[in-house]
């Protein structure tokens, strides 16, 4: 019906799945915007930028501890597992995610690039040492090496994205001939620009989202529905 199946995927050389908060919504991770969105409940200026961290680090870390507790109990859904299966069957599949929750990796996907970092890593605000910290709450809120505050190794408002990650993602998107955007409002740059990049390089672009977004008119196809339902349905039906 939508023109895609495991068979059709074989016609494409390089496939990108670009995911946002909506991909994790059905796993129980709140989105940022829209109904129940985090930025409706919390003012990001107080919790998700370097200035807030500089003035009230404990408050910012408590907020992120709450997020960790919430995400720690979340499990991948059928949509995540569909992407794992596609990766097994196709030679070039890349997942680029804005999500910091690690659910793609938890489901078993291996070629995942995290654009906005990970809630499961911390970075010392002083010596920049990065360490893994996977647990419901922070194992330590100060650096093991220099005893200064650690901050979540995620991209906050106003932060620069890593040049290395940006270069890598640019290359992946430029090369793709099939681009899926799943569960993102597409308003945050540079992420929002990847649709333009993919499209201008000739990729077929598909949006999966229950709601239209500002970018919807730019996609070749828009599939309305939840990621956990649409993804398994889309790749199980042979045309």
Q: List 204's β-bridge partners, or say none.
A: 178
Is residue 211 near ligand APR by the rule CB under 6 A? yes
Q: Smaller CB distance to ligand APR: residue 26 or 133?
A: 26
Is residue 28 near ligand APR by the rule CB under 6 A? no
**Interface residue with ligand APR, options 18, 32, 180, 194 (CB under 6 A):** 32
Question: Minimum distance between the CB of residue 13 and ligand APR, rounded to whole angstroms?
Answer: 26
CB 98 within 8 A of CB 50: no
**Interface residue with ligand APR, options 64, 80, 116, 204 (CB under 6 A):** 116
- Distance, in Å, from the CA atom of 66 to the CA atom of 43, rounded to the nearest integer, reads 15
Question: Minimum distance between the CB of residue 222 and ligand APR, rounded to whole angstroms?
Answer: 11
Q: Smaller CB distance to ligand APR: residue 14 or 98?
A: 98
Residues 130-189 that bind ligand APR (CB under 6 A): 183-185, 188
- Distance, in Å, from the CA atom of 67 to the CA atom of 80, rounded to the nearest integer, reads 20
**Interface residue with ligand APR, options 14, 15, 17, 25 (CB under 6 A):** 25
Sign of torsion, CA 227 232 233 235? positive
Helices marked H in 34-162: 38-41, 44-47, 50-55, 57-72, 78-89, 103-107
CB 47 within 8 A of CB 40: no
CA atoms within 13 A on the CB side of 221: 15
Which residue in the shown chain puts its C-beta closest to ligand APR?
22
Known catalytic residue at 220: no
Q: Name the DSSP class of 197.
A: H
| Catalytic site residue from 40, 116, 220, 221 | 116
| Residue 172 main-chain phi, psi, to 5 deg | -65, -45
Q: Name the DSSP class of 144.
A: T
Is residue 210 near ligand APR by the rule CB under 6 A? yes
SS3 210: coil
**Interface residue with ligand APR, options 2, 6, 8, 34 (CB under 6 A):** 34
Is residue 20 near ligand APR by the rule CB under 6 A? yes
Query: Which residues have a catalytic role annotated?
Result: 116
Residues contributing to the site for ligand APR (CB under 6 A): 20-22, 25-26, 31-34, 37, 98, 116, 183-185, 188, 209-211, 213, 226-227
């Amino acid at each position: 019906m939508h023109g895609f199946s495991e068979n059709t995927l074989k016609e494409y050389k390089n496939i990108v799945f670009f995911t946002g908060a909506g991909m994790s919504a059905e796993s129980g991770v709140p989105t940022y915007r829209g109904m129940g969105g985090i930025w409706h409940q919390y003012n990001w200026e107080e919790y998700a930028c370097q200035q807030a961290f500089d003035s009230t680090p404990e408050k910012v870390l408590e907020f992120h501890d709450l997020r960790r507790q919430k995400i720690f109990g979340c499990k991948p859904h059928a949509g995540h597992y569909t992407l794992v299966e596609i990766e097994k069957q196709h030679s070039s599949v890349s997942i680029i995610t804005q999500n910091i929750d690690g659910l793609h990796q938890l489901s078993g996907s291996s070629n995942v690039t995290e654009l906005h970092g990970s809630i499961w890593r911390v970075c010392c605000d002083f010596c920049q040492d990065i360490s893994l910290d996977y647990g419901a709450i922070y194992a330590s809120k100060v650096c093991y090496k220099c005893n200064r505050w650690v901050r979540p190794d995620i991209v906050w408002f106003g932060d620069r994205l890593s040049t290395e990650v940006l270069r890598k993602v640019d290359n992946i998107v430029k090369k793709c001939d099939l681009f899926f955007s799943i569960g993102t409002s597409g308003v945050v740059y540079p992420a929002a620009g990847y649709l333009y990049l993919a499209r201008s390089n000739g990729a077929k672009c598909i949006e999966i989202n229950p709601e239209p977004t500002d970018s919807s008119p730019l996609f070749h196809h828009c599939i309305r529905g939840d990621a956990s339902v649409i993804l398994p349905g889309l790749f199980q039906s042979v045309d």
